[in-house]
Chains A and B, each alone.
Chain A
Amino acid sequence: MPPPPLSPGPTANAFGYDDDIELIAALRRGDEGAFVWLMKTHNAGLLRYARFFGRDREVAAEVVQETWLGVIRGIGAFEGRSSVKTWIFHILANRGRTRGERESRSVPFSALLAPELDDDQPAVRSDLFLPADAPRWPNHWAVAPQPWNAPEALLLADETQRVIDGAIAALAPVQREVITLRDVVGMDADDVCRMMQISDGNQRVLLHRARSRVRRALDAYLTPEAPA
């Protein structure tokens, strides 16, 4: 069987819901198909994000379940000022924070956003470039990256996905949060800025650093002779 194609992932517009207004109307009507679609679309992303608030999977799963109950209770009053997706992730963040504070076992939000927990390492190790004072080609590749030649099946293989997972887990918390929301969950930049209360410039820098780290981990795995 051929591997599934790399797609950008489901959006609120897929499966016949032209926009959020239509989706909200269906949910308010009690359309169970709409609710199942919503759960299928967002549950995995919610689970990932929930791990910020509880260390073990069980706690994360409970927080997600509470989030869905919050969605069920809140859909009648939802005013549509943000996208449905952002609204759901906001509910999760609020529940998760309450839960984290109660159990005192996860990092409080202010600490997640503390700039000193970020790092400003370059995307690529400095010695892979020629020095700035090199007579020819200063700051160009001294050791150029080698193509991965990785078919999609390899990128999607469990072991490769574990490499990515491990690289994300090793990031500074604030970078991990941005890459989780942007690339794993697939949230828009604007929504991430609102949720994390950071500027667009800050969001871009954090995403860049996070992706650069993940790329390095993949490079080390896919071309083992490459300098990590």
Chain B
Amino acid sequence: MNDSEMACRELVELVNDYLGDALPTTGRARFEQHLGDCPGCVTYLDQMRATVAATRRLSEDDLDPRVRDELLTAFRDRPPEGRAEA
């Protein structure tokens, strides 16, 4: 194995830079080359993708309708300086 080959231990520390498109071109090429040979790291990458997608869903609570109505009233009644022309 030569020095430019990526080991799994290194890949797991780069996986989020890979997902965020923040790896330099050579790093990206080494990363993808490793993935081609390593089912364990493919699984790891899939798990990280699923983690990010599932975390995104935490946010989805409904807005309390009572609060929404109060704020909408405040929006409707806001003073004229809040209505400055763009």
Greatest chain A CB density within 10 A among B58, B60, B78 is at B58
Q: Which residues of A contact B (CB under 8 A)?
A: 6, 8-9, 24-25, 28, 30, 32, 35-36, 39-40, 43-45, 47-48, 61, 65, 68-69, 72-73, 75-77, 122-124, 129, 138-141, 144-148, 150, 155-156, 160-161, 164-165, 168, 179, 183-186, 189, 204, 207-208, 211-212, 214-215, 218-219
Does the CB pair A179–B43 fall under 8 Å?
no
- Taken residue by residue from 27 to 40, chain B's Cβ proximity to chain A (1 for < 8 Å, 0 otherwise) reads as 00000000000111
Whether B55 pairs with A204 at a CB distance below 8 angstroms is no
Minimum CB distance partner of B61 in chain A? A44
Q: Is B3 an interface residue (CB 8 A)?
A: no
Instruction: Contacts A61-B67, A76-B84, A185-B59 given; indicate if A138 touches B54 (C-beta within 8 A).
Output: no
Report the contact-size class of chain B (Cβ under 8 Å from the partner).
Answer: 35 or more
A147 touching B46 by the CB < 8 A rule?
A: yes
A138 (CB) vs chain B CBs: closest residue: B7
Q: How far is the CA of A44 from the CA of B43 in the complex (A)?
A: 31
Contacts of B12 in A (CB 8 A): 122-124, 212
Give the Cβ gap from B20 to chain A, nearest Cβ, in Å.
7
Known: A139-B8, A140-B8. A160 touches B54 (CB 8 A): yes
